[in-house]
């Protein structure tokens, strides 16, 4: 009995011990899971960059820039009913002044234009202990007064040493010594996906820090031909312009310049000027106050898949020469319309947008090698670069008139007046009428001047008709036209009937 009781007790104790083991095991599993989660979070945290040291070390060299400009606005004679006699201070007052003027007279009879002051904010960074500051051209453009506010809250009046609109770079100078400076990096070594950090004054909030990654390199933006922008997803907003873009080593690799936005605020697309290019510009601004860029003297376009096929290329690449400007370095070196520039000064030209920055940063008077593809053959020319004119050269075109052809279009010879206006010395026919057919499908428009078909220069309307009659079918052929805005290549394909 006692034995049984003992056994019963033992069994009971054994059951209790089993429960304890299960409990211990369960606790161990839970503990291991917690340890795993903690280690995992630590590993994840360890894999993310820590910007604190970078900010502490380099933010003092980042400055706030405020400018004052004189702008004109309508001068009004009558005060609208209900308007306050005194303009309130603050944001509402700024908005009030914008619409109603400094005296609050925004309605009534106009008495002409009168100047008023407008203020804007931007960012910049110190590149030398004796007070040289870099920022954007658009931050200081037309400024009558520029104030640079340092991290220690000192405000110094700045002088513009030089400013370059094409690169959007400006060099300022303040009267101070022993200033904190940034470390200049190498934007050429940047990699897509690399972490970067911006410090600036968005909306006037000094020394705001935002971080992200490099999204792309060598971006070409509309009307920005000479800057291969660095694209990032770093949050950039109005006021960040001109501020530095740092890499993880604390070196400046770019100058924040533009954002893509439909709202005026950050939408995930920010663009910075590579510091390598910026420093070249600054060196010229410091020496002479202006920038001299290399000039080749060609109008170019991208090579599409259809155009690549028409030129016998295995894939699209290079910059297609649509026009060689008169008396330009390109003309003197022997470049021709229809040439495809594949390398410039030893560097590959993958897209047409790669060429202008390469030419622009090359010294004036330098002799460079230009590798081209001409009618299927690779050639290398030597070009002595000229200086880019102050005003971008534009070629104007104008719609006109005709002669029936196989392409279902009507063309006619150019008049002397048209040639003079279009700067066409000889050859070419102008499209007067176009109907459904190969030409329209290729993108030919009424008013286009057809200069070349299938690498053959068009002399006149009669010659054009003869060329058209002999064109091969089911094959992409290059067609060069000149229209409003300049020359452009199209890919023409005639289907067999």
**End-to-end C-alpha distance for the chain, whole angstroms:** 111
Asked if 241 is an active-site residue, the reply is yes
Asked if 138 is an active-site residue, the reply is yes
The candidate with the shortest Cα–Cα distance to 196, out of 62, 56, 54, 65, is 54
Which are the contacts of 377, defined by CB distance < 8 A and separation ≥ 6?
none
Residue entry with tokens 């880019």? 388
The 3-state DSSP class for residue 51 equals: coil
The Cα–Cα gap between 54 and 197 comes to 9
CA 74 to chain centre: 35
The Cα–Cα gap between 472 and 476 comes to 9
> How many CB atoms sit inside 10 A of residue 133's CB?
26
Catalytic residue among 215, 241, 257, 468: 241
| Conformation bin of residue 418: beta by default, left when phi > 0, alpha when psi is -120 to 50 | alpha
DSSP 471-487: PPSSS-EEEEEEETTEE
Asked if 233 is an active-site residue, the reply is no
The Cα–Cα gap between 139 and 118 comes to 13
Which are the contacts of 490, defined by CB distance < 8 A and separation ≥ 6?
307, 442, 443, 444, 478, 479, 480, 481
Output the CA angle 164-167-170, nearest 5 degrees: 45
DSSP state, 327?
T
The 3-state DSSP class for residue 49 equals: coil
- Identify the burial level of 46 via C-beta atoms within 10 angstroms of its C-beta, where 0-12 means exposed, 13-18 middle and 19 or more buried: exposed
The Cα–Cα gap between 57 and 50 comes to 13
Output the CA angle 325-330-331, nearest 5 degrees: 65
Residue entry with tokens 């770079």? 169
Say if residues 275 and 255 touch (Cβ distance below 8 Å). yes
Catalytic residue among 58, 59, 123, 168: 168
The candidate with the shortest Cα–Cα distance to 164, out of 218, 120, 226, 223, is 226
Cα→Cα distances 413→59, 251, 447, 455, 488, Å: 66, 60, 12, 19, 19
Catalytic residue among 73, 138, 207, 463: 138
Question: Which active-site residues does the annotation give?
Answer: 138, 168, 241
């Amino acid at each position: 009995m006692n034995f049984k009781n003992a056994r019963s007790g033992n069994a009971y104790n054994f059951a209790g011990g089993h429960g304890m083991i299960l409990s211990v095991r369960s606790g161990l599993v839970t503990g291991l899971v917690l340890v795993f989660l903690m280690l995992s979070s630590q590993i994840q945290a360890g894999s993310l960059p820590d910007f604190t040291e970078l900010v502490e070390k380099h933010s003092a060299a980042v400055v706030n820039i405020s400018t004052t400009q004189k702008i004109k606005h309508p001068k009004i004679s009558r005060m609208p009913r209900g308007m306050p006699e005194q303009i309130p201070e603050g944001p509402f007052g700024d908005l009030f002044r914008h619409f109603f003027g400094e005296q609050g007279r925004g309605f009534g009879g106009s008495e002409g234009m009168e100047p008023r002051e407008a203020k804007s904010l931007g960012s910049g960074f110190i590149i030398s202990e004796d007070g040289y500051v870099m920022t954007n051209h658009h931050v200081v453009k037309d400024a009558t007064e520029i104030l640079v506010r340092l991290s220690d809250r000192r405000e110094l009046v700045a002088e513009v040493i030089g400013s370059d609109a094409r690169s959007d770079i400006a060099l300022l100078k303040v009267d101070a010594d022993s200033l904190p400076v940034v470390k200049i990096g190498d934007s050429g070594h940047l990699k897509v996906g690399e972490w970067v950090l911006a410090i600036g004054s968005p909306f006037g909030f000094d020394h705001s820090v935002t971080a992200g990654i490099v999204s792309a390199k060598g971006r070409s933006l509309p009307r920005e031909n000479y800057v291969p922008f660095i694209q990032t997803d770093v949050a950039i907003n109005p006021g960040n312009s001109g501020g530095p873009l740092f890499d993880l080593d604390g070196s400046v690799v770019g100058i924040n310049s533009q954002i893509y936005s439909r709202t005026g605020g950050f939408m995930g697309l920010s663009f910075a000027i590579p510091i390598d290019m910026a420093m070249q510009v600054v060196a010229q601004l410091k020496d002479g106050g202006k920038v001299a860029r290399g000039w080749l003297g060609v109008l170019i376009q991208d090579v599409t898949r259809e155009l690549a096929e028409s030129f016998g290329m295995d894939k699209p690449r290079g910059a297609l020469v649509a026009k060689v400007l008169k008396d330009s370095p390109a003309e003197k070196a022997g470049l021709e319309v229809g040439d495809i520039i594949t390398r410039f000064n030893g560097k590959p030209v993958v897209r047409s947008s790669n060429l202008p920055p390469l030419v622009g940063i090359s010294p004036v008077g330098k002799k460079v090698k230009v590798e081209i593809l001409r009618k299927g053959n690779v050639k290398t020319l030597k070009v002595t670069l000229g200086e880019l004119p102050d005003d971008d050269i534009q070629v104007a075109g104008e719609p006109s008139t005709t002669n029936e052809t196989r392409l279902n279009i009507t063309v006619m010879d150019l008049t002397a007046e048209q040639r003079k206006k279009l700067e066409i010395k000889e050859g070419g026919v102008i499209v007067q009428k176009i109907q459904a057919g190969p030409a329209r499908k290729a993108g030919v428009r009424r008013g286009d001047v057809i200069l070349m078909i299938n690498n053959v220069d068009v002399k006149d309307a009669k010659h054009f008709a003869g060329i058209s009659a002999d064109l091969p079918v089911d094959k992409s052929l290059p067609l060069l036209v000149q229209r409003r805005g300049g020359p452009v290549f199209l890919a023409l394909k005639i289907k067999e009937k």
